[in-house]
Amino acid sequence: KNQVEQSPQSLIILEGKNCTLQCNYTVSPFSNLRWYKQDTGRGPVSLTIMTFSENTKSNGRYTATLDADTKQSSLHITASQLSDSASYICVVSGPLGGYNKLIFGAGTRLAVHP
Amino acid sequence: NAGVTQTPKFQVLKTGQSMTLQCAQDMNHNSMYWYRQDPGMGLRLIYYSASEGTTDKGEVPNGYNVSRLNKREFSLRLESAAPSQTSVYFCASSEPPSALNTGELFFGEGSRLTVL
């Protein structure tokens, strides 16, 4: 069964610290992996999209890595800010053209404290 | 641009009542989607519309119907609401995924539905 597992479920860090969120998946075949940020009470917003041939992708203080061999991805947040408090969702896409082939993880809830 | 707009933002229904969630996008996307988000679970696809005039079932379609009114609008209807349909519903739109397009999803702000 195609699955996307994220860890940890929740995380608390102090402002200014770095953190890394994990995503393991069993989706096959695989075309791309996405990370979304979801603020409380809002819709998810895309942070990065990586194809199977990409190992790393950055978006400001967010850096996503992908190891397609081990089916693992991570999202690293550098110098965290209070505004980084949100849920971070890993999404794996199946075959190209598969409108219904996005598998969503349950998310990691990050709280950044002053 | 407003992006993806959903209405209503909040709704409380009694079991058996019906209602329609409205969604409109102004990005000229061909594909539109309805997802539900429940605590501790990933978003699950209810229905999608690959292009104007077509609709298809997703992972959890039971108890729902959809209408792709035109290219901009995609509505979700609950004919006889049940407590199990208490959830947060998200509409999204994208260009169709292809070799040249990852089909990035743009989400609305969500509609929070409670069925008593």
| A46 touching B (Cβ < 8 Å) | yes
Of the pLDDT bands very low, low, confident and very high (cuts 50, 70, 90), residue B45 is very high
Kindly state the tokens that stand for B85.
């349909």
- Whole-number pLDDT of residue A109: 97
* Per-residue 3-state assignment (H helix, E strand, C coil) for chain B: CCCEEEECCEEEECCCCCEEEEEEECCCCCEEEEEEECCCCCCEEEEEECCCCCCEECCCCCCEEEEECCCCEEEEEECCCCHHHCEEEEEEEECCCCCCCCCCCEECCCEEEEEC
- Whole-number pLDDT of residue B96: 73
How high does pLDDT run on average in chain A? 92
Interface test with B, best of A100, A101, A103, A109 (most B CBs within 10 A): A100
Q: Which residue has the higher pLDDT, A100 or A58?
A: A58
- Whole-number pLDDT of residue B99: 67
Of the pLDDT bands very low, low, confident and very high (cuts 50, 70, 90), residue B115 is very high
Contact A76, A62 (CB under 8 A): yes
* Mean pLDDT, rounded, for B60-81: 96
Kindly state the tokens that stand for A31.
């075309």
Decide if B58 and A103 are in contact by the 8 Å CB cutoff.
Answer: no
Kindly state the tokens that stand for A75.
């999202």
- Whole-number pLDDT of residue A84: 98
* Mean pLDDT, rounded, for B7-15: 97
- Whole-number pLDDT of residue A17: 97
Q: Is residue A31's pLDDT more than 70?
A: yes
For chain A, positions 54-113, list CB contacts with chain B under 8 A: 89, 91, 93, 96-100, 102-107
- Whole-number pLDDT of residue A98: 63
Residues A66-107 pLDDT 10s:
998 999 999 999 999 999 999 999 999 876 556 667 899 999
Residue from the list A41, A99, A104 with its beta carbon closest to the beta carbon of B48:
A99
* Mean pLDDT, rounded, for B61-67: 97
Decide if B90 and A44 are in contact by the 8 Å CB cutoff.
Answer: yes
* Mean pLDDT, rounded, for B26-40: 94
- The share of chain B scoring above pLDDT 70, in percent, equals 95
CA distance B88 to B108: 11
Interface test with A, best of B4, B30, B33, B37 (most A CBs within 10 A): B37
Query: Chain A partners of B100 at a C-beta cutoff of 8 Å?
Result: none
What count of other Cβ atoms lies within 10 Å of the Cβ of residue B66?
24
CA distance B41 to B88: 12
Interface test with B, best of A99, A100, A108, A109 (most B CBs within 10 A): A99
